Structure 1
Amino acid sequence: MSDSNQNAQYLSPSDRFIEFMNASPSPYHAVESAKERLKKYFFTPLSEKSSWENTVKPNGRYYFTRNGSTIVAFAVGGKYKPGNGVNIVGAHTDSPCLKLKPISKKTGAGYLKVGVQTYGGGLWHTWFDRNLALAGVVMIEDACGLRQQLVRISDPIAYIPNLAIHLDRTQTDAFRFNNETHLVPILATVAKDLNSGVCSTKNDDVNTLDDSIEKKHHTVLVEKLASLVGVDPKHIVDFDLCLYDQNPCMLGGIYKEFIHSGRLDNLNSSFCAIEALVQSVEECQSLSDDDRIRMVALFDNEEVGSRSAYGADSSLLTDTIHRLQVGGDNSSYEIACANSFLISADMAHAVHPNYPEKHEENHSPMMNKGIVIKINAGQRYCTTTATSAMIKMLANNNNICYQEFVVRNDMPSGSTIGPLMSSNLGIRSIDVGNPMLSMHSIRETMGVDDVATAINLFKAFFIEFSKLDRRVTID
């Protein structure tokens, strides 16, 4: 084991999480970070384009990705047989953000600007006056063919300036802005660009037969991306890039009991799920004695409804469970789903110290007080009495704290991937998540202790749930 790997073993769960966050500014980077963690624990990569029949075996560890932004990892119990079931922790890799438009080149009032789309339900006012960096993937076409490559501009290259109070006194009463015309980042001044020799403003007409990347995006931006991935700008044919707050994930509070970062929703759940899986397979004899499959599924596109080829509302998990029934009979898939259990892990709302009236008085979760079981009579969450009782039993057996949450009757409820997957697959499910403040802000806050709590619960689920489930008689 290398020195860096050894050092990683001694980091606290929150320190490892902070490292993960700072390496994961986009869903693509989050998946890459998860892959790196899985590789250290000898998980074998699979391809959906190939047969798994002679590859996946009892006691094996595997993962595969789809689109580079969704990842599924699983470990096969030593006593697994088709139909035995899959114990799953599901989460998502995406967060609300600003994505570059297919044609992002804009100018105005002497500035180079970049056109962006709003992705998800962000608190967009929090994106003003922030140092914005850029990350995602570029599509490269060269002698090797067409390929996708990660890219990250870590410098604060973009900025969305607020309007001065002197020019609009009403902003002290209510901050109103137009997402299309006011939520537009600036990259540079036109004068500086002209003097640089790059001249992004030349050939501004994008409606020509020339469909080159520099017709659609500022030359200075394309050249910066090309230099980072080591190709000629003409070899970049497209990209999927999002802006993010350059300020890193860090500890906060006078006792350093908080974690401040963008994308806590839902990269915290993603990290805790992967960490629990890799720790569970290292437990002596734990996997060899298991008769089920332990799985983590991290999906993209939850923030926009999950309806994509790599979202939770796709056939991805159905296809995966089908493929793991090799050697079974015609009903193995249906039996496997009936024997399976899903923990849908997504962040929860901690009670706000300045708006406590927004929570129901008996259901006001606090940070650093344990993971939250989320319940909704309208089925916005997938928790049932039976699934809640089973997870509570697991938590109590391992001295793991938990809290319960229902939304007030006079407020709308959010939702998660849980109801989608539960209804599509017929799998018993529960919704849980760590409590946090400022959800969907560019800068969110959660508790340090809750990182370890979630890891411990998911780890106990992977190691102990198969045995616990045999004591359950509910159909």
Structure 2
Amino acid sequence: MMESPLVPHTQIDFNENLLRFLQASPTPFHAAKNLADQLSRAGFTQLQEGDAWSLKPGGRYWLTRNDSSIIAFIYGYSPLVESGIRMLGAHTDSPCLKVKPRAELNRRGYFQLGVEVYGGALLAPWYDRDLSMAGRVTYCDEQGNITSELIDFGRPIAIIPSLAIHLDRDANNARSINPQKDIVPLVLQLPADDSPVPGFRELLQAELQRSNPSLAIKQVLDYEISLYDTQPPALTGLQNDFISSARLDNLLSCFIGLQALLNADNKVSSLLICTDHEEIGSASCCGAKGPMLQHFLERLLPDTETRVRTIERSMMISADNAHGIHPNFMDKHDENHGPLLNRGPVIKINANQRYATTSETSAFFRLLCNQVNVPVQSFVARTDMGCGSTIGPIVASEVGVKTIDVGVPTFAMHSIRELAGAADSWYLYQVAKAFFTYPNAPLARVVIAQ
């Protein structure tokens, strides 16, 4: 569990808190819990989806779904149908390796784990890293109840060794990676006398009870476990110009959204949503393509006409990392749209609506950046290359809210370790804070002018 950070007053404070959050959030489950813990300490009230709600202006609330997606909401005093809701969305998941249900592999004296690739992971950087494991374990307790607990081994317990260059002379030229047989973590040397070793579920139970001896675990029934790099996040570069870490895509945006919301006032209504499963299409009960946000808005505003009018006066900032122009691969970018690190957040545009940005939402964001003296850039993919997507088009099409896609420029996206600018996190935070804070921000008079 990470400690509650102080309200950041400088870029250094902000990034130090960000590094702590990244380190404490190896999986979407841990990220959602850390977000929830900070909200609770800030006076937000937890809502249970199975309970009746009585939401009131001036209230601050949060709820989770699947322990991996979270909504936080400030119910402003201004009537919703007049002010709308200012929304910021991000996602809690990142590409990684997930342990299979029957994971145990005993081969040539070594205990290994079968894993499945989650999302569009860049696989080569996973070799020769000190890996740990974390996630959620579901078990039956001594009373027959099914309970779930988060687990984090927190120490190096696995590694995927490279094949020596002597045995693969083409490794630097034309090597492909087979995810079934080439990315198999090594966990344990088997005893020479062939004595039995615990199964993976037994290892999980032992670790849970080691970290919390009071748990009465009768049997581990199932798990969702991911591997992660134990190298801690860091400020990198001769002058600490960069942030180097796993899961910058997209925990960086989750953290920015949280800190901005914690500094919001209660004059207008503000909402943060961080969903799971974006990296695999968002099609789940807790993904952006699922009904989580829609259910919340329906319960907040049961009357259809009032809800539609409120959504018409609302806006969503979809915050997800953008591709910074790589100095070694400049030809991978459109020559007029290559964002630079530490030069401000990026407005992401795609003519085919892979990003949800429109001229109205882009104009609003640019004006807001001008108001807080933050530089702003734009990204358009090369016309002859494919373009990724975000939760932005999904929320825009499912909810009907006007949306802009923005993000911090990043190198090595979907690698086990990504790189962003140390100034850009602070820049985007300033804009997000203004979005949630200024009662007379240009949202009402530019984007929703009637």
TM bin, normalised by shorter chain, reads over 0.9
Residue 200 in structure 1 maps to residue 197 in structure 2: yes
Q: Count residues in correspondence.
A: 443
Residue 265 in structure 1 maps to residue 249 in structure 2: yes
Summarize deviations over 1:128-167 as a string: whole Å, max 9, x none: 1111000111112212722211110011111111111111
Per-residue deviation, 1:177 = 2.3
Name the amino acid aligned to 1:188.
Answer: L
Name 1:255's counterpart in structure 2.
Answer: 239
The unaligned stretches of length 5 or more in structure 1 are: 202-213, 282-286
Summarize deviations over 1:211-262 as a string: whole Å, max 9, x none: xxx4xx3644543344334346643211111000010111111111111111
Name the amino acid aligned to 1:27.
Answer: P
Q: Secondary structure at the match of 1:50?
A: coil
The question of whether the paired residues in 2 share the 8 Å contact of 1:93 and 1:266 is answered with yes
C-alpha distance in 1 between matches for 2:366 and 2:207: 51
The question of whether the paired residues in 1 share the 8 Å contact of 2:80 and 2:310 is answered with no
Residue 471 in structure 1 maps to residue 445 in structure 2: yes
Q: Secondary structure at the match of 1:117?
A: strand
Per-residue deviation, 1:7 = 5.9
Per-residue deviation, 1:120 = 0.2
Name 1:386's counterpart in structure 2.
Answer: 360
Summarize deviations over 1:290-329 as a string: whole Å, max 9, x none: 3xx2000000000000000000001111111111115xx4
C-alpha distance in 2 between matches for 1:335 and 1:359: 40
Per-residue deviation, 1:356 = 0.9
The question of whether the paired residues in 2 share the 8 Å contact of 1:126 and 1:442 is answered with yes
Summarize deviations over 1:304-357 as a string: whole Å, max 9, x none: 00000000001111111111115xx44112112211100000000011010111
C-alpha distance in 2 between matches for 1:365 and 1:265: 16
Name 1:34's counterpart in structure 2.
Answer: 35
Name 1:169's counterpart in structure 2.
Answer: 169
The question of whether the paired residues in 2 share the 8 Å contact of 1:105 and 1:218 is answered with no
Name 1:46's counterpart in structure 2.
Answer: 47
Percent identical residues: 40
Residue 86 in structure 1 maps to residue 99 in structure 2: no
Per-residue deviation, 1:451 = 1.2
The unaligned stretches of length 5 or more in structure 2 are: none
Name the amino acid aligned to 2:120.
Answer: G
Instruction: Answer with 419-428 or 229-238: which moved more.
Output: 229-238
Q: Which residues in structure 2 correspond to 1:135-154 (within 5 Å)?
A: 135-142=134-141, 143=143, 145-154=145-154
Name 1:210's counterpart in structure 2.
Answer: none
Per-residue deviation, 1:374 = 0.3
C-alpha distance in 1 between matches for 2:127 and 2:4: 38
Residue 131 in structure 1 maps to residue 130 in structure 2: yes
Instruction: Answer with 310-319 or 219-228: which moved more.
Output: 219-228
C-alpha distance in 1 between matches for 2:50 and 2:216: 30
C-alpha distance in 1 between matches for 2:161 and 2:243: 26
Distance 1:184 1:233, change over 3 A: farther
Aligned-residue Cα RMSD (Å) equals 2.0
Per-residue deviation, 1:280 = 1.6
Name 1:280's counterpart in structure 2.
Answer: 264
Residue 295 in structure 1 maps to residue 271 in structure 2: yes
Residue 410 in structure 1 maps to residue 384 in structure 2: yes
The question of whether the paired residues in 1 share the 8 Å contact of 2:93 and 2:278 is answered with yes
TM-score, structure 1 normalization: 0.89
The question of whether the paired residues in 2 share the 8 Å contact of 1:138 and 1:236 is answered with yes
C-alpha distance in 1 between matches for 2:231 and 2:168: 28
Name 2:160's counterpart in structure 1.
Answer: 160
Instruction: Answer with 244-253 or 33-42: which moved more.
Output: 33-42
Per-residue deviation, 1:186 = 0.8
TM-score, structure 2 normalization: 0.94
Per-residue deviation, 1:31 = 0.7
Name the amino acid aligned to 1:304.
Answer: I
Picking from 280, 283, 294, the partner of 1:318 is 294
C-alpha distance in 1 between matches for 2:144 and 2:21: 31
Residue 354 in structure 1 maps to residue 351 in structure 2: no
